[in-house]
Structure 1
Amino acid sequence: MPATPAGLYVHVPFCRAKCPYCDFYSITDPGSITAYTEALLAELNLRRQRVPRADTIYFGGGTPSILTPLQIAQVLEAIHSCFSVATGAEITLEVNPETVTPASLAAYRAAGINRLNIGLQSLDDRTLAFLGRIHTAQKGVDAYRWARAAGFDNIGLDLIYAVPGQTRSRWEAEMAGVVRLAPDHLSCYTLTMEPGTPMAQQVQDGQVHPLDEETAGRLFSATAAYLNHHGYRQYEISNFSRHAAGDTADRRSRHNRKYWTAAPYLGFGPAAHSFRDRTRWWNHRSLSDYLADLKAGRLPVAETERLTREQRMMEFVYLGLRQTDGIDTVDFASRFDAGFFDCFGSEVRRLIDEGLVAQSSGRICLSHRGMRFIEHVADRLLS
């Protein structure tokens, strides 16, 4: 059987401003961009041919659109030089609205980017201000329309909901505006207060009051219902792809699905993670350490972890639950030489009786209600 094609991820650790809810690694000093780009090219060269073939490339961050189209083109040229990249590979660039223009978007497309993921986050200026975003809703809409004018036919939008004070009607009004734009993909994330972020500190200090779990859960259910009704099929807890009448294109994120299906992926740049041959490793979460290692000709790996059979089983189950296709029990048996029901049968049957899980055609899937309580279901299965 031929090896599963890998995904390649490039972490660009620069932002114009740091959002108070974000715990991804990024810095706001652009003075090291040139040094970072040179180090990135060196890392690509050190890892050349570490996977036989790749069919997705994803520039994430941070704010990758802080890099110029010429810099993105240089990185893509190096990737094609160092790896066998499939014809028709999905090549995604994350962009923030305040960093792009009609000209830059056209130049990114000319450089080889064929999919955009725009950090819209909201169509409500009050929500954008609360989230610390430095663009307006109109600027977000402009960026989307410029991208379409530049010829991009595969565009995803990121949205954040369940912010303090948000009501269902207010959130559905935003979704209506987004649906009118007709993006190809939507990622809708509930606001989480990640430990160590400024927003988590604001919660601790009593300055911010998160929505209670019941209200956030109702908004989660409303999101899936609204988007499914308007032609967006949920394929993962937070992800939806557009299925227009007569459209045969699959707009699910090919790159992100690699993370959810245990496919191999290589990460480049500070804090980037990689996975291959049951081994996971990650780079230094520090640009200075990353630069120092590559200057010395060393791979910038912070730690490496060899996954045990039990860890791989747990990840397979959890990631399968996140996807609406669910857990493939035949695949489970093939990977682990163990029957799924031999391992989890009694608890699965209880979850089915409670209406949290459904069984169909060799798959175990969360019910709609179960999706609201995925952590509860996962804990019960994996304990």
Structure 2
Amino acid sequence: MQKRVLRSPPVQAGKIKEGNAHRGRTEEQRPGLYLHIPFCTAKCRYCNFFSVTKVSEIPRFLKALFKEALLQGGGIGSFDTLYIGGGTPSLLAPFQLSELFSHLRKTYDICEDAEVTMEVNPADVGLPVLAQMRALGINRLNIGVQSFDDTLLAFLGRRHDGNQAIQSIMAARQAGFDHVGIDLIYGIPGQTRQAWKKALEYAASLNIPHLSCYQLTLEQDTPLGKSCAQGLFKIPDDDELFEFFMDTSEFLESSGYTHYEVSNFALGESFVSRHNSKYWRHIPYLGLGPAAHSFDGCKRWENVRSLECYLQRLERGELPVESCEELTNEELQLETLFLGFRTKAGIDLGAFSERFGVDLRASKKDFLKPLLSAGHLRIADGRLQPTRTGMALADAFALL
């Protein structure tokens, strides 16, 4: 089997039908709310997420976002997670964030103990700004560090340096954030396995409670993707990326982290991302903003991938949905299967049978048998779970 390492999908989540979305829902199955803030002062050279650099449109965008929230309505149920991603959400001024939270709480039922996560760029956040964020009710930060190495940061086109990355982590703690996560990238041209391990050692020494370690993936229409296609540099091959992945998992687990999802590590259950876990557990989520995705348990839809089109539609009082897909029972089964392979917990065989009326071990016998024999999957305590190599190769399972 070819060694292809799975990279986390964009964690972006546009009207969840009440009857479909939360009929019989337990507390653990409450939907999540995602906001896509599509602004950056400059595009990173590797990034394929939807964003624009026209930050002067932020006030107009926020008015449209508030209208979208109202059009979606408040009959969705209680949200127990809110994730503000982008783009660069930390470009919003504290007064704009305050207005945003006020509007959301008037429109939706957001639980008092909700996990409220915000992505921030180290170049944007010092102690005063972070303290204001904490006072607004943001209780979890995801800091886009990517690397502590200035040379690698410059190659990626990041606008912060290693010192700013470190200072942002320290400032987050001073501001009262107990739940802090950072993103790190491996597989960057010129980055050795030894240098990567030193970065992991440093992150672990800071006792950062959550680490997201992503493989660099180059899309064709990004600046780095075009440069790679022109032969200006090479990215590591699949075997090298497999070794990066295994090094990461082995080191961080030996350092006290739980490797709970392909790219995610937490210092205990309390630091696991509740919001992102909804995607992997197939729990409904509502996404607001351009290019945001939503899922109601049976149907998935995506907003327009254009800021101007998004703004114009909402200014006409229309929802900005671009495409919608009703998933068949078979498609839902397969999604549940492959999302489950991303996580350490795997798939509850009893719950799968109850939901779909299918004995997974019998219906997918020919698919599962070689993976079990090779040690990529195991069955324990009624769950079908990936091993470490299984998590590394999880994307290849879909090709079998």
Q: Are 1:70 and 1:111, in contact at CA under 8 Å, matched by a contact in 2?
A: no
Partner of 1:22: 47
1:311 pairs with one of 304, 328, 331: 331
Where relative contact order (Cα < 8 A, 6+ residues apart) is larger, the structure is 2
Distance 1:289 1:309 in 2: 33
Q: In the alignment, is residue 158 of structure 1 matched against residue 178 of structure 2?
A: no
Partner of 1:339: 359
Partner of 2:274: 254
Shift of 1:43: 0.8
Distance 2:318 2:341 in 1: 38
Query: Which 5+ residue runs of structure 1 have no aligned equivalent?
Result: 244-248
Partner of 1:300: 320
Q: Are 2:131 and 2:175, in contact at CA under 8 Å, matched by a contact in 1?
A: yes
Kindly provide the amino acid, as one letter, of the partner of residue 167 in structure 1: T
- The sequence identity of aligned pairs, in percent, is 41
Q: Tell me which moved more, 262-271 or 342-351.
A: 342-351
Q: Are 1:91 and 1:112, in contact at CA under 8 Å, matched by a contact in 2?
A: yes
Q: In the alignment, is residue 46 of structure 1 matched against residue 66 of structure 2?
A: no
Q: Are 1:199 and 1:208, in contact at CA under 8 Å, matched by a contact in 2?
A: no
Partner of 1:267: 287
Distance 1:206 1:5 in 2: 47
Partner of 1:83: 108
Shift of 1:379: 2.3
Shift of 1:230: 0.8
Q: In the alignment, is residue 227 of structure 1 matched against residue 247 of structure 2?
A: no
Partner of 1:170: 195
Provide TM-score, normalisation by structure 2: 0.92
Partner of 2:129: 104
Distance 1:213 1:355 in 2: 19
Partner of 2:152: 127
* SS of aligned partner of 1:99: coil
Q: Tell me which moved more, 223-232 or 47-56.
A: 47-56
Distance 1:30 1:373 in 2: 40
Shift of 1:166: 1.7
Shift of 1:277: 3.8
Shift of 1:218: 0.4
Partner of 1:355: 375
Provide TM-score, normalisation by structure 1: 0.96
Partner of 1:330: 350
What is the RMSD computed on CA atoms of the aligned residues? 1.2
Distance 2:352 2:47 in 1: 34
Distance 1:367 1:152 in 2: 33
Partner of 1:371: 391
Q: In the alignment, is residue 63 of structure 1 matched against residue 93 of structure 2?
A: no
Q: In the alignment, is residue 199 of structure 1 matched against residue 199 of structure 2?
A: no
User: What do residues 3-25 of structure 1 show as CA deviations (whole Å, max 9, x unaligned)?
Assistant: 53110000000011101111100
Q: Are 1:73 and 1:112, in contact at CA under 8 Å, matched by a contact in 2?
A: no
Q: Are 2:283 and 2:297, in contact at CA under 8 Å, matched by a contact in 1?
A: no
Shift of 1:50: 3.8
Shift of 1:33: 0.5
Q: In the alignment, is residue 143 of structure 1 matched against residue 143 of structure 2?
A: no
User: What do residues 272-315 of structure 1 show as CA deviations (whole Å, max 9, x unaligned)?
Assistant: 11111411111111000000011001111111111111111111
Partner of 1:246: none
Q: Are 1:281 and 1:302, in contact at CA under 8 Å, matched by a contact in 2?
A: yes
Query: Which 5+ residue runs of structure 2 have no aligned equivalent?
Result: 1-23
Q: Are 2:82 and 2:117, in contact at CA under 8 Å, matched by a contact in 1?
A: yes
